[in-house]
Structure 1
Amino acid sequence: MNKSDTPAASTRGPADHDVRDQIVAAAKEHFSHYGYEKTTVSDLAKVIGFSKAYIYKFFESKQAIGEMICGGCLGEIEADIRAAVNEADRPPEKLRRLFKAAVDSSLRLFFQDRKLYEIAASACIERWRPTLVYEQRIQELIREILQEGRQSGDFERKTPLDETVMAIYLVMRPFLNPLILQQSFDYAEVAPGQLSSLVLRSLSP
């Protein structure tokens, strides 16, 4: 997912992308030091040198800024996943790479910065739009791999496709959701290989 494909947060006002990007960049740096929950729009205004009212011309709330940052992070994860999947030739290997890249990229982005992790946590708890779109796109990628595997004869065709997509997504979900991923950290190294092998056995024709 390119930046242009990232779901738009609740932006408003002038179509001045430079100013909007400046606000988001400053907010991301501030959140990294002080945390999302403890930061107010007034804090951001002081750091950036804008008035709070001016920031509200571009974003309707602090959450809207958080959504923009969250959408960018999830976009990076999806791009990593798709790049890994595209390196494989056959559907079974694509599915293995999907599992591994999803975990590796999520760990790298969400756990290298503990303060920014709070944004991801808030996004999941409150079901922000970028997280919903991300979940949908991962399911779409799973569907693409399954359809290709069914056409190539690598995967069985009897189970309804929608049911299979959702089942695989639910298997992956503990390692996609940052709240659950934190609790599953001890298994993150071995889980992708073990779970993808289990799923692939269930998909055998």
Structure 2
Amino acid sequence: MTVQTKTKPDDTRARIIETAEALFRRMGFAKTAVADIAAELGMSPANIYRFFSSKHAIVEAICQKALAELEAEAWAVARSPGPASQRLEDLIMATVNYHKENFLTERRVHDMVLVAIEHSWDVIRAHKQVMHSIAERILREGIAAGEFEPVDPAQTARHIMRSLVAFLHPVLIVQCLEDHEDLETEPRAALRFLLRSITPRR
């Protein structure tokens, strides 16, 4: 007698996300319908809607997963050894390179992030909060080590991230690329300029 294994809801949800992401990468978000995702999985569109209320909700989940990868890289930077100023620079450059890479070589991933910005602002806001928290942690450690003045780390992290938004926002970074800005040296120079204001004068 054959025993049928019941698929767990979390497994089905993960399969939907994985299949949808592959189709979005191949066909693009606009050209992919929920029916296409369902057909690829051998299930009905109604079954997809049991797990996701809309195609945008699927993109939100994909975007959340992608941004979680960037956040994991950012936390690794924060926990690495070395001066706080260097770790802040590494954090900014990790973000710049992530968005630049998505736009240049994974354009359809970049497009999905744009859809999430438009329709799933909560996901983007949560991601921004994580990145601010990481920058704040690095600043706190720099203050404790005497590398920075005893400023308010949370407020300073917000100021730094907002001041560098042209290099950190996936929409604005496209403008930088189209204007042929040097995204290797300019973000670094801008951050160093900002950090001079909180670096003790010897």
Partner of 1:200: 195
Partner of 1:72: 65
Q: 1:114 aligns with which of 107, 116, 129?
A: 107
Structure-to-structure mapping, 1:119-158, within 5 angstroms: 119-157=112-150
Structure-to-structure mapping, 1:1-205, within 5 angstroms: 16-157=9-150, 159-185=151-177, 186-187=180-181, 188-205=183-200
The offset of 1:110, in angstroms, is 4.4
In the TM superposition, structure 1's runs of 4+ consecutive aligned residues that sit over 4 Å from their partners are none
Contact 2:74/2:134, CA 8 A, preserved across alignment: no
Specify the structure having the higher radius of gyration (Cα): 2
Aligned partner letter, 2:73 = D
Cα deviation digits, residues 174-200 of structure 1 (max 9, x gap)? 222211111112332222321221122
- Tell me how large the CA RMSD over aligned residues is: 1.9
TM-score, normalising length: structure 2:
0.85
SS at match of 1:37: coil
The 1:127/1:170 distance shift into structure 2, 3 A limit, reads farther
More RCO (CA 8 Å, sep 6+) = 1
Contact 1:70/1:120, CA 8 A, preserved across alignment: yes
Contact 2:38/2:48, CA 8 A, preserved across alignment: yes
Q: d(CA) in 2 for partners of 1:127 and 1:175?
A: 21
Q: d(CA) in 1 for partners of 2:109 and 2:157?
A: 30
Cα deviation digits, residues 43-64 of structure 1 (max 9, x gap)? 2222222101111111111111
The offset of 1:127, in angstroms, is 4.5
Contact 1:40/1:62, CA 8 A, preserved across alignment: yes
Identity within the alignment, %: 30
TM-score, normalising length: structure 1:
0.84
Aligned partner letter, 2:161 = Y
Cα deviation digits, residues 35-83 of structure 1 (max 9, x gap)? 1123221222222221011111111111111011101111111122222
The offset of 1:100, in angstroms, is 1.5
SS at match of 1:204: coil
Q: d(CA) in 2 for partners of 1:16 and 1:133?
A: 25
The 1:126/1:176 distance shift into structure 2, 3 A limit, reads farther
